[in-house]
Amino acid sequence: MDKNILESDVLIIGGGPAGSIAAASLAQKGYSVNIIEKVAFPRFVIGESLLPRCSDLLFKNGMLEAVAAQGYMVKHGAAFERNGVFEKYDFSENIGQEYGSTYQVKREEFDHILLKEAVRYGAKLYEETEVTSYDVDSVTATAKDKDGNELVFRAKFAIDASGYGRVFPKLLGLDEPSELRTRDAIFTRLTGDTRPTDGTDGYIYIYIHGNNDAWIWTIPFSDGVTSVGIVCTDEYFNSYNMDNEQFWNTIIEATPEASKRFKNSKKIAPVGKIDGYSANVSAMHGKNFCMVGNATEFLDPVFSSGVTLALESGDRAAMLIDKQLRGETVDWAEEYVGYMMKGINVFREFVNAWYDGRLHDIFFHPQKKNLIKRSISSLLGGYVWDDKNLFVRNHDTAINATLSMLPKNNKANK
């Protein structure tokens, strides 16, 4: 054994939610795990609204207690607003899932908690260490620490959980453009917004701007701070010819219900912008490696599915790596890719139907049946693998079928 090589059973690139849950799971199963993380935590990352499905996964991996102890804002549901009409989904009114609520979290805090949990379970963390190259055959990653020293990590299996860093997609030539349109998010944090008083103050509120030109996320935290972001196409943003702050102010002002909510608020962070964040890969696994979380496919922020899919894929990968390292055969195409794509494709249908407006016509239709509402609630909770749900079972046809069954003479409020 070469003393200069840092050996472990599994090496994980990235200490976000996907990497941390995989590390915690594998460490608890008795494997040695090295996590290589580019920056020092806490670090900011976008994406602060969780889904109830996260709680199943965090509980399964012994991480929920630490999260629940933080006093985060409890998120009981999601509300959508169009032209003054609000449609609210309470996660507990689902089709039989265990968790009917979740949390709104500042990711710099939440991700740090998860990473500390992974370390508590025995994973070894190398912070401020950036992976710069990877050799597939020898399962070896080369990295640079903050002092410029080169570190070499070798393992039996490697997980790329590098999120927006997309280490394996870039190093192994697996990057693929997303089929989704390029969209921008223009976001800030503020205090002093007027929160609802009907028990939905912990909900994520989504305000639809104009003629479905943009939508606005409103994510309230328990310390009185609220995250507010506008999502629209690149062309729409550019058509205003404004800087981030001017654009943010203009869109909020021109969206009556959002404008009411933020009238007396004060921004406490500069208005930032992220664009072109949707991404895809040509493969999610290869010889003794796999990719999890945002290092694979990232769809769109509208249903807050990112952390849920990161946790789901990290948990799933850890389970399969355990199986493989115990000498059993793993069918990665079926057991990993097939499983993950089932959930991702359910969200994809919803994302597409959100942007082309079909989903609005269902959400805001006053006469939809209770089962439809509960099924949507379950899906918005992140339960996208439950075949009891018609939107999961028939994910490619259920939206159009539902629309065709809704009474036409009382079309969704426009």
Ligand X SMILES: Cc1cc2nc3c(=O)[nH]c(=O)nc-3n(C[C@H](O)[C@H](O)[C@H](O)COP(=O)(O)OP(=O)(O)OC[C@H]3O[C@@H](n4cnc5c(N)ncnc54)[C@H](O)[C@@H]3O)c2cc1C
Residue 180 lies near ligand X (rule: CB under 6 A): no
Instruction: Give whichever of 37 and 117 is closer to ligand X, judged by the CB atom.
Output: 37
**111 and 121 Cβ atoms separated by less than 8 Å:** no
In the list 7, 28, 32, 39, the residue contacting ligand X (rule: CB under 6 A) is 39
Instruction: Give whichever of 304 and 402 is closer to ligand X, judged by the CB atom.
Output: 304
Helix H, strand E, coil C: the string for 278-331 is CEEECCCEECCEEECHHHCCECCCCCCCHHHHHHHHHHHHHHHHHHHHCCCCCC
For the CB of residue 24, give the shortest distance to ligand X in the complex, in Å. Answer: 13
Binding range to ligand X, per CB under 6 A, among 36-44, 83-91, 332-340, 403-411: 36-44
> What is the DSSP-derived secondary structure letter of residue 408?
S
Instruction: Give me 284's structure tokens.
Output: 């999610």
In 3D, which of 19, 59, 55, 91 has the Cα closest to residue 377?
91
Q: How far apart are CA 397 and CA 189, in angstroms?
A: 38
In the list 220, 293, 343, 381, the residue contacting ligand X (rule: CB under 6 A) is 293
Q: How far apart are CA 35 and CA 42, in angstroms?
A: 15
Applying CB under 6 A, the site for ligand X has a residue count of: 38
**61 and 21 Cβ atoms separated by less than 8 Å:** yes
For the CB of residue 325, give the shortest distance to ligand X in the complex, in Å. Answer: 22
Q: How far apart are CA 204 and CA 224, in angstroms?
A: 14
For the CB of residue 158, give the shortest distance to ligand X in the complex, in Å. Answer: 12
**Residue span 181-220 as binding mask against ligand X, x where in contact by CB under 6 A, dash where not:** ----x-----------------------------------
What residues contact residue 79 under an 8 Å CB cut-off, 6+ apart?
A: 86, 87, 88, 89, 196, 200, 203, 204, 205, 206
Binding range to ligand X, per CB under 6 A, among 63-71, 90-98, 302-310, 391-399: 302-310
In the list 52, 77, 165, 343, the residue contacting ligand X (rule: CB under 6 A) is 165
In the list 6, 10, 16, 27, the residue contacting ligand X (rule: CB under 6 A) is 16
Instruction: Give whichever of 309 and 376 is closer to ligand X, judged by the CB atom.
Output: 309
Number of residues in the chain: 414
Residue numbers 321-380 binding ligand X by CB under 6 A = none
Instruction: Give me 321's structure tokens.
Output: 């790596």
**Residue span 118-157 as binding mask against ligand X, x where in contact by CB under 6 A, dash where not:** ------------xx--------------------------
Peptide bond before residue 169 is cis, with ω within 30 degrees of 0:
no
Binding range to ligand X, per CB under 6 A, among 31-39, 79-87, 173-181, 236-244: 31-39
Q: What is the CA radius of gyration of the chain?
A: 21
Residue numbers 48-67 binding ligand X by CB under 6 A = 48-50
Q: Provide φ and ψ at 141, rounded to 5°.
A: -110, 135
- Which residues form the interface with ligand X (CB under 6 A)? 13-19, 36-39, 43, 45-50, 130-131, 161-165, 167, 185, 274, 277, 293-294, 298, 301, 304, 306-308, 310
